[in-house]
Amino acid sequence: MVAARAFLGMSLAAGLVLSCCSDSVREDEQPQGPVKIDSLAIINLPVRDLPPTAQQDILTALAARLHKRNRIRVVAGQSLGRGVWGALDRVPADACRHFQAKTDEAREAYRQLRIGKSIELSEQALAMLAYCGGELTDPAELVQVYTTWGLSLLSRQRQEEAMAAFRTAVAFDPKRPPRTEGMRAGQRKAFETAQRQLLSGNPPTVKIQSIPAGASVSVDGRVIGKTPIEDAQIFPGRHFVRLELAGYATWTAELAEGVPPARLKTWLHPAWKGDPPKALLDDGLDEDAPSDEAKAQLTALAAHFEVDAVLVVGLKRAEGNILLSSMLAIPAIDFTGAWQSFDLGPKPDGLAKKLRQVARAYPVLKRKHGGKKKRKSKKD
């Protein structure tokens, strides 16, 4: 099964399970003799300087590459790490506080007619939504920041940008349009024009699915039902989707500006039931071997996700480039490799090619073949 960001070109999936079979361990640090590895979980460390969408793209591409090369079942996804770290991952909560503070400051700056400052603060708040948009429970918070931003842009004669901001504000909660009290006549006219532009068309319908089914679905903080949902109506624009199911890690996704995909489908991962693995997080990207406590936590994680091996992945920016560090653990044979680092370049694009090197760092010792042995591919 494959759940990738584009599901047959029409959907977004931030959970990932890739299946097959293999015998695999690293060649540079291999244990004595071959070890049968049929499954692997990728656990990502909390990240502050890389948006969740970029993290998800990298994790999805890495899982696909490992699956293709090693023929193993790979369980991965940004929500997998979220379910493991729990309260230790302070990034979403901190981002939400920063977002609210900047939104309030932007609104106050606009009232004081400090238009340039209001635009700057609004854009800072909007940047935080990449980290916390899926955490918000009230669409009014989203409406407010886009309305303030639009009014400030309009004051600077940036008409086209202002109208786009107003349309996005309306799209967050179309059945409860934003209040226009306090707007000047020209501002109200522009806002109402943008509102009519958006609401005059029929919103696209989106099919939302999860495995397992029964997850509560929120769009921009509005609860719209439980999966499967056959015809969620979502107007074009930026949106934030959240799926919650008892016993499973919360799944969130950002839908970029434009027409939403026809289908969203994801695999929900069982939430970690014990205390967050603090020792593993404290070890961080240390070049030394993990502590005994961290190794015990890796063993527990492998058992929890019912996999043979765990690949811990850390992502960060350094000198403008994205660096990926990874460490492989095979609990059944008490094997934990050293951290390895890879430079993915400045942008999370062309990942299939960039992550080939990462996959090669953990090659199979033997591959299963049925019948005649296949020729080795030059591409992988």
CATH of 11-77+274-366, one of 3.40.50, 3.30.750, 2.60.40, 2.160.20: 3.40.50
pLDDT (tens digit per residue) in 220-256? 999 999 999 999 999 999 999 999 999 999 999 999 8
Give the pLDDT confidence score for residue 296 in this predicted structure. Answer: 92
> How buried is 114 (Cβ within 10 angstroms: 0-12 exposed, 13-18 middle, 19+ buried)?
middle
Give the pLDDT confidence score for residue 335 in this predicted structure. Answer: 84
The strand ranges marked E within 13-121 are: 16-18, 23-24, 39-44, 73-76
Residue spans of the domains in the chain: they are 11-77+274-366, 91-199, 205-267
CA-angle at 209, arms to 204 and 212, nearest 5°: 170
CA dihedral 142, 130, 97, 194 (to 10 degrees): -20
Distance, in Å, from the CA atom of 310 to the CA atom of 26, rounded to the nearest integer, reads 13
Distance, in Å, from the CA atom of 379 to the CA atom of 195, rounded to the nearest integer, reads 51
| Residue bearing the bigger pLDDT, 48 or 162 | 162
The set of residues, in sequence order, having a beta carbon less than 8 Å from that of 242 and lying 6+ positions away, is 134, 135, 217, 218, 219, 250, 251, 252
Look over the chain and give the mean of its residue pLDDT values, rounded to a whole number. Answer: 84
Contact 243, 224 (CB under 8 A): no
β pairing state of 222-226 and 216-219: antiparallel
pLDDT over 70, % of the chain: 84
Give the pLDDT confidence score for residue 374 in this predicted structure. Answer: 46
CA dihedral 221, 223, 228, 229 (to 10 degrees): -90
pLDDT over 90, % of the chain: 56
Give the pLDDT confidence score for residue 17 in this predicted structure. Answer: 53
- What's the predicted TM-score (pTM) here? 0.83
Fold of 91-199: 1.25.40
**What would the mean pLDDT of 187-199 be, rounded to a whole number?**
94
**What would the mean pLDDT of 119-129 be, rounded to a whole number?**
97
